[in-house]
Amino acid sequence: MMRSVEALELFPDTFNPGYFMIKVALLLLAALLAVQSALDLRQELRPANPPEDTGQPGQPGP
């Protein structure tokens, strides 16, 4: 079983096992991109903080 998995994880021309690391890096990049996009979208959809009330009408805040 392990030999069949190892055979799938080699570059077809050079038989270098680095192909597995390239696939892992690609999946990690896609996952991190999705997380960053979700965080950016959440930040954009968050409502802005309303101005603080100073208690005196017509007076600017500190």
pLDDT for the residue 19:
74
Question: What's the rounded mean pLDDT across residues 33-48?
Answer: 92
Query: H or E segment at 58?
Result: none
Mean pLDDT score across all residues of the chain: 77
Question: What's the rounded mean pLDDT across residues 31-47?
Answer: 94
Query: Comparing 34 with 22, which gets the higher pLDDT?
Result: 34
- Distances in whole angstroms, Cα of residue 60 to Cα of each of 23, 50, 51: 57, 14, 10
> Would you say residue 3 has pLDDT above 70?
no
Rounded Cα distance, 18 and 57, in Å: 68
Tokens of 45: 């959809």
